[in-house]
């Protein structure tokens, strides 16, 4: 279930609520969810303000020992850290890097300000915001699956929807807005299989279908009642008690009632 899940911040959004959503979706579990925030798309009119809010919030959040009250703990393994560090190499000169006192693995020689615990006790990575993302950037098309969120800007909701679709992934998408018209424009245009309104991209519901379109998943929906079709198969059973050949379905006029019949 690969994803490059977009979150769209409209000019009429509740920015404090959107901040909480972007923080959790982008860096909760160190960004290691298929529904983690991929790219944060911010409207031009609130871009500078919200980007600063986001960068300040990420920079001041606690990272480290998962037994403590932290934003996120370690990476799953060295393998995932290595992939994360390869993705960091995709950062270009026109990008602005925010969110921490370094990038890559957190060590005593590459410390994170306010780190909780011993950085050598696990595979920890700096939270990284890469602002100034463009469609032609490799990071635009790459599922990073780590504590890395790209940020870009847009002028119209139609542009934001296009930016949210054109990488070909279609798992989860979110929009923050107070305008129902924007909600329905988003709903009709975005290609993701799961949509959240004023909630994070990670806000899946157990009773609703879980899955994606395009490069995300295989078309199945593995949650709610739809999961039954994924893990079961239909089989028809025809047990005839008429004692006569049926040339087609229900070909006989009558099956006599037998009150003594038992299985």
pLDDT tens track for 237-255: 878 777 777 776 655 566 6
Mean pLDDT of 10-18: 98
CA distances from 28 to 90, 176, 222, 245 (A): 22, 19, 22, 64
- Return d(Cα 203, Cα 194) in angstroms, integer: 9
* Topology classification of domain 5-206: Aldehyde Dehydrogenase; Chain A, domain 2 (3.40.309)
Bin 145: left if φ > 0, else alpha if -120 < ψ < 50, else beta. left
Give me the phi and psi of 35, to 5 degrees please. Answer: -100, 10
Q: Kindly report, residue by residue over 145-160, the tens digit of the pLDDT.
A: 999 999 999 999 999 9
Q: What confidence score (pLDDT) does residue 155 get?
A: 98
Q: Is the dihedral of CA 248, 252, 253, 258 positive or negative?
A: negative
Give the tokens for residue 87.
């993705």
Q: What confidence score (pLDDT) does residue 160 get?
A: 98
For the chain, the domains span: 5-206
Q: How confident is the model at residue 174 (pLDDT cuts 50, 70, 90)?
A: very high
16 vs 206 pLDDT, higher one? 16
Q: How confident is the model at residue 75 (pLDDT cuts 50, 70, 90)?
A: very high
């Amino acid at each position: 279930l690969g994803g490059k899940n977009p979150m769209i911040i409209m000019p009429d959004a509740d920015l404090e609520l959107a901040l909480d959503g972007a923080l959790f979706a982008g860096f909760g579990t160190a960004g290691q969810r298929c529904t983690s925030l991929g790219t944060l798309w911010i409207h031009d009119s609130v871009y500078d303000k919200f980007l600063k809010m986001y960068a300040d919030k990420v920079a001041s959040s606690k990272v480290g020992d998962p037994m403590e009250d932290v934003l996120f703990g370690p990476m799953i393994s060295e393998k995932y850290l290595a992939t994360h560090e390869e993705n960091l190499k995709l950062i270009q000169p026109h990008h602005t890097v925010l969110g921490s006192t370094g990038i890559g693995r957190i060590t005593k020689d590459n410390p994170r300000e306010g780190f909780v615990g011993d950085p050598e006790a696990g595979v920890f990575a700096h939270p990284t915001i890469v602002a100034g993302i463009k469609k032609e950037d490799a990071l635009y098309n790459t599922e990073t699956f780590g504590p890395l969120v790209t940020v870009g800007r847009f002028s119209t909701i139609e542009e934001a929807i296009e930016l949210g679709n054109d990488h070909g992934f279609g798992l989860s998408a979110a929009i923050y807005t107070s305008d129902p018209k924007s909600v329905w424009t988003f709903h009709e245009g975005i290609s993701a299989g799961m949509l959240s309104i004023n909630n994070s991209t990670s806000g899946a519901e157990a009773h609703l279908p879980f899955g994606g379109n395009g490069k995300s998943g295989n078309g199945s929906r593995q949650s709610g009642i739809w999961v039954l079709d994924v893990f079961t198969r239909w089989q028809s059973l025809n047990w005839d008690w008429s004692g006569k050949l049926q040339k087609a379905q229900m070909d006989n006029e009558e099956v006599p009632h037998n009150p003594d019949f038992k299985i």
